[in-house]
């Protein structure tokens, strides 16, 4: 079974407020530092269940990304393609790039979730035996309320009925092929599972991991560096 991981790092990270996109900032790994996108790709490279990898990056970063992949020997990468204006566009570009020689299934993952591990990846793939689409989830620990008016708190939500969605999000190719022509119709969807559900696809889930967090802000980057350093010191 051929499983292709699509790693989406096509954004320039406007909220990050840096000249360099956040996926090209570095994390410590033993005696060197690795760009986040390389760190993330390595996690899939080391997973035996993953056959190959497609990287989505800003067009101007394609040469640099290819250089990094050669330098750090991420040999499962089969292509580096240009991302789009949004994550949704980047995923669509990657999926179309596979259409001529499609895999059996794809895993779509945020480049800025570098602490995904092989166990979680494998559990997601295994669940594809039961569902045609699968996502990892975690349950919220904090009290959750809706926004009220004028910075006030609104209605209390029952967190026992809520799930926080992570990536990678897995899809059998025959499933994602059905909705690919309509991929960009919903401009408000924030993840791939939302698009699938909108088109009537039942999405299963597995328990995710708190470590599989997304680096969105500079504070997240500080946390990721501390976490990476602690991981390196354990080895």
Q: How many CA atoms lie within 13 A of 146 on its CB side?
A: 7
Query: Who contacts 150 (Cβ-Cβ below 8 Å, separation ≥6)?
Result: none
Can you tell me the distance from the alpha carbon of 155 to that of 178, in angstroms, rounded to the nearest whole number? 38
Question: In Å, how far are 52, 66, 111, 147 from 62, measured between CA atoms?
Answer: 18, 6, 14, 41
Average pLDDT over residues 150-173: 94
Place of tokens 């092989």: 118
In the predicted structure, residue 234 carries a pLDDT above the cut 80: no
> Could you tell me how far CA 91 lies from the centroid of its own chain?
10
- What is residue 129's predicted lDDT score, i.e. its pLDDT? 96
3-state SS, residue 129: coil
pLDDT band at 30 (very low <50, low <70, confident <90, very high): confident
In the predicted structure, residue 98 carries a pLDDT above the cut 80: yes
- What is residue 32's predicted lDDT score, i.e. its pLDDT? 86
- Range with lowest mean pLDDT among 4-13, 43-52, 161-170: 4-13
Tokens of 135: 């996502």
Query: Who contacts 197 (Cβ-Cβ below 8 Å, separation ≥6)?
Result: 203
Residue ranges covered by each domain of the chain: 3-230
Domain 3-230, CATH? 3.90.550.10
pTM of the model: 0.94
Average pLDDT over residues 135-146: 94
β-strands 26-29, 32-35 pairing: antiparallel
Query: Who contacts 174 (Cβ-Cβ below 8 Å, separation ≥6)?
Result: 132
Q: Which residues pair with 148 in a beta bridge?
A: none
Average pLDDT over residues 105-133: 97
pLDDT band at 13 (very low <50, low <70, confident <90, very high): low
Question: In Å, how far are 113, 164, 199 from 206, measured between CA atoms?
Answer: 17, 12, 21
**Is the Cβ–Cβ distance between 195 and 95 less than 8 Å?**
no
Tokens of 132: 């045609």
* pLDDT above 90: percentage of residues in the chain: 80
């Amino acid at each position: 079974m051929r499983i292709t991981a699509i790693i989406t790092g096509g954004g320039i990270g406007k909220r990050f407020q840096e000249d360099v996109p956040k996926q090209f900032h570095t994390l410590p790994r033993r005696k060197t530092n690795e760009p986040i996108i390389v760190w993330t790709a390595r996690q899939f490279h080391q997973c035996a269940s993953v056959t190959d990898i497609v990287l989505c990056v800003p067009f101007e970063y394609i040469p640099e990304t290819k250089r990094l992949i050669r330098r750090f020997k991420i040999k499962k990468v089969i292509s580096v393609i240009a991302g789009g204006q949004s994550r949704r566009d980047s995923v669509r570009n990657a999926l179309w790039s596979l259409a001529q020689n499609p895999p059996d299934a794809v895993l779509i993952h945020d480049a800025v979730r570098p602490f995904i591990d092989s166990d979680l990846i494998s559990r997601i793939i295994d669940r594809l035996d039961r569902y045609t689409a699968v996502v990892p989830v975690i349950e919220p620990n904090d009290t959750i309320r809706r926004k009220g008016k004028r910075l006030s708190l609104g209605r209390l939500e029952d967190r026992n009925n809520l799930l926080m969605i992570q990536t990678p999000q897995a899809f059998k190719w025959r499933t994602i092929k059905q909705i690919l022509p309509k991929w960009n119709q919903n401009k408000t969807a924030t993840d791939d599972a939302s698009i699938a559900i909108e088109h009537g696809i039942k999405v299963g889930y597995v328990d995710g991991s708190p470590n599989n967090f997304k680096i969105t802000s500079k504070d997240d980057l500080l946390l990721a560096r501390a976490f990476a350093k602690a991981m390196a010191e354990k080895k």
